[in-house]
Amino acid sequence: MSWGSISLSVLVIFVVLCSAKIAHAHASMNLRNSSDIDTHQNYTQFLLTNGVARTPPMGWNSWNHFQCNIDEWTVKNTADALISTGLAALGYKYINIDDCWAEGKRDWRGNLREKSSTFPSGIKSLADYVHAKGLKLGIYSDAGYKTCSKTMPGSLGHEDIDARTFAEWGIDYLKYDNCYHDGSKPLDRFARMSYALQKVARPILYAICEWGEENPAKWASQYGNAWRTTTDIKDIWESITSIADENNIWGRYAGPGRWNDPDMLEVGNGGMSLEEYQSHFSIWAIMKAPLLIGCDIRSASRETLWILGNKEVIDVNQDPLGVQARKIRSKAGLEVWAGPLSSRRVVIVLWNRSKYRAPISVGWREVGLSPSNPVSVRDLWAHSFISKGIRSRLTAHVAPHACKMYILTSI
Ligand SMILES: *[C@@H]1O[C@H](CO)[C@@H](O)[C@H](O)[C@H]1NC(C)=O
Ligand SMILES: *[C@@H]1O[C@H](CO)[C@@H](O)[C@H](O)[C@H]1NC(C)=O
Ligand SMILES: *[C@@H]1O[C@H](CO)[C@@H](O)[C@H](O)[C@H]1NC(C)=O
């Protein structure tokens, strides 16, 4: 498929209205001065202060593509590929091993052991390899007796010893899952690993994965740096739209050091169209989700790298203000998502989930900009300014399941 035909098929029309009257005043939302930002500041006093994840974590995780078929060679080759594709330089730093990396039984002292058939050199040596390339290593465990694959022990009751093992190995990131537990509340089980990690000398990003069961946005920022808000993602359109909506509910709880996690990316795994993957990536970026690549980077197509490597979209995700954008309007599947960025900019995504013919329109007042001020509009997928001074509103036609992503700057 050629990029030219895609951009041609996405025709953008601007309607400049001189009238200050805004049709969607009922949905208006001042993003610069919303009470959400107060709430967001109030939560900082309870923050886990391990100093990591000031912007959403970026990297790769083995699960979505490899599931249990993971070994040290795949991990090393993936680290090499992150560098050679240029993705590492764009911020994808964490190489995260998911489930199935350990032997089924602990050693006689109670330590987890890496599986000798698939990780014969050991996790420590893998961490050294990854660190030597300027990358970071993540690992996986579970707040239960076994991990979800049932192939290895979980950390319930072994939190301290496992946290020490991870620190000794040089682990930088822990994804902590929720299978085969004792029926106690997630908060209790996930807090125990948080305390164990805080006791070790190494700062380890702690990603809580209790699947949104106990509304973790409300409590998990005291214990971890990110928390899953939903069940597992699938490489299909319906999964993307439903997870986006569920994650959206918790927008105001996100901020530097503490992020809602709608699960890892499926971009490049083959189940969706190019436009659908672009929408997936755009919405994950604007929601300040962790951007964890879930495909095989070693064989990623040019299209996949074009999406994952869009620096302008990544910059939105990594913006220092760290405010999660939210859906501000939805009618018949035509959606407007918006959020504030640093330097008084606003990012918007116009997303077409519909089957119907209708333009998507957004007024400046709805997103906290003065309708009488001219606004420069940058298209983050076309990499060009569509205008350097539009007043009042813009209207776009967006291909089915595609989106347009813009940064608006008052000038
Ligand atoms: C923000 O809202 C408060 C109360 O609604 C108002 O007093 C204040 O002037 C507003 N600030 C700005 C910058 O609009
Ligand atoms: C945030 O904290 C301030 C001062 O403690 C308080 O007045 C305000 O109501 C809080 N806002 C929210 C949304 O909880
Ligand atoms: C959204 O896609 C539908 C086809 O599914 C198309 O008819 C419609 O015009 C598109 N909407 C916008 C706003 O471009």
Kindly state which CATH superfamily the domain 3-30+325-410 is placed in.
Answer: Golgi alpha-mannosidase II (2.60.40.1180)
Nearest CA to ligand 2 atom 2: 42
Catalytic residues: 177, 232
Nearest CA to ligand 3 atom 7: 357
Q: Is 398 in the pocket of ligand 3 (CB under 6 A)?
A: yes
Q: Burial level of 217, CB count in 10 A (0-12/13-18/19+)? A: buried
Instruction: Identify the residue whose tokens are 């319930």.
Output: 156
- Please list the residues that pair with 208 across neighbouring strands: 176, 227
Which residue from 42, 43, 45, 253 has its CB within 8 A of the most atoms of ligand 2, so it is best to mutate? Answer: 42
**CA 38 to ligand 2 center in whole angstroms:** 7
Kindly state which CATH superfamily the domain 46-317 is placed in.
Answer: Aldolase class I (3.20.20.70)
Global pTM value: 0.85
Q: Is 402 in the pocket of ligand 3 (CB under 6 A)?
A: no
Write out the DSSP string of 276-326: HHHHHHHHHHHTT--EEE-S-GGG--HHHHHHHT-HHHHHHHT-TT-PPPE
Closest ligand, as measured to the CA of 12: 3
Q: Is 2 in the pocket of ligand 2 (CB under 6 A)?
A: no
- State residue 292 phi and psi, 5-degree precision: -110, 110
Q: In angstroms, how far is the first alpha carbon of the chain from the final one?
A: 37
**Full pLDDT tens readout for the chain, 411 residues:** 344 433 333 333 232 222 222 223 223 344 544 444 444 454 444 567 788 999 999 999 999 999 999 999 999 999 999 999 999 999 999 999 999 999 999 999 999 999 999 999 999 999 999 999 999 999 999 999 999 999 999 999 999 999 999 999 999 999 999 999 999 999 999 999 999 999 998 999 999 999 999 999 999 999 999 999 999 999 999 999 999 999 999 999 999 999 999 999 999 999 999 999 999 999 999 999 999 999 999 999 999 999 999 999 999 999 999 999 999 999 889 999 999 999 999 999 999 999 877 889 999 999 999 888 899 999 999 999 998 788 889 999 999 999 999 999 998
Closest ligand, as measured to the CA of 39: 2
Q: Is 354 in the pocket of ligand 3 (CB under 6 A)?
A: yes
Domain boundaries, the chain: 3-30+325-410, 46-317
Nearest CA to ligand 3 atom 6: 357
Contacts of 392 (CB under 8 A, 6+ apart): 16, 17, 18, 19, 20, 22, 363, 364, 371, 372
- Nearest to residue 401, comparing CAs of 235, 240, 230? 240
Q: For residue 96, what are its two tokens?
A: 């995260």
Instruction: Identify the residue whose tokens are 């979980």.
Output: 154
